[in-house]
Amino acid sequence: MIVYLDGKYVDSADAKVSVFDHGLLYGDGIFEGIRIYDGNVFRLDEHLERLEYSAKAIMLDLPATRPELVEITCETCRRNNLRDGYIRLVVTRGVGDLGLAPWLCAKPSLVVIASTIQLYPKEHYENGLAIVTVPTRRINPAALPPTVKSLNYLNNILGKIEAKQGGALEGIMLNDQGFIAECTADNLFIVHKGTIYTPSASQGALKGITREVIFDIARDCNLPILEQNMTRYDVWCADECFLTGTGAEVIPVVKLDGRVIGTGKPGPITNRLLTEFRHRVRSEGVKL
């Protein structure tokens, strides 16, 4: 595998960062997970825009312009002969000392990895997931804005561990008020009486790129879609439920906390959204 690292394309075995990199020491950095489908880097501009916003929010100067990042991302895919897979773009604060001070980091570091990913077995896309609610609460947006896609994912990892301990592959995370924020790695949607609902980003949810795709598809298909505060009760009593994410794509959920959702099978609106999503991923983005 060939990895882009600070201006060079190197073998993955040689793709190394300093132990003094603040991304390693403090999670001081940002990232994007991007998908490529049949040579189409899906919604690359939207991902890079979010990267720019994350960088601005944490006062991190990106080491490349957007056109340069587009070319680096595509070239990394080309060098790995990757036409279907997953791209991880990482920007760290760079090498500093053992103190917190980010201004002592001379320059940021840029890494682009192009490989593959499979978060859930294929059968779960056909039959649906059973998920649980985890004890760990989502970080308050006033402490760390969820719109910043930072390298600090320990909060999510704790939730993922608890989901596994509960016998599930994914878990819902509540905020400190008891409303649903998101899952450990995915955004959550429900369908109730023909309307699609999802938690507001202000409640602790990342503004996911795939989440935005669902909004676009719903509008184009004349399906009502709303953001609102949601509790577990809303999911328990929903007609359908599904999760979205770059890695997860669109995956139905058929059970939460032991309670069957709807008919216990992926619903018609979920299937319609998934079909349209699979059509768009090959047309919206940047071709290699």
Which residues carry out catalysis? 149
204: which 2 tokens?
A: 């602790």
Non-local CB neighbours of 175 within 8 Å, separated by 6+ positions: 137, 138, 140, 181, 203, 204
Torsion angles phi and psi, residue 217, rounded to 5:
-65, -45
Cα(42)–Cα(116) distance, rounded to whole angstroms? Answer: 14
Tell me the CA distances in angstroms from 77 to 55, 112, 115, 210, one per residue in order. 23, 9, 8, 21
Per-residue tokens: 148: 């910043």
Compute how many other C-beta atoms are within 10 angstroms of the C-beta atom of residue 244. Answer: 25
Count of other CB atoms within 10 angstroms of residue 16? 11
Q: CA-CA distances (angstroms) from residue 144 to 166, 177, 205, 271?
A: 27, 16, 11, 34
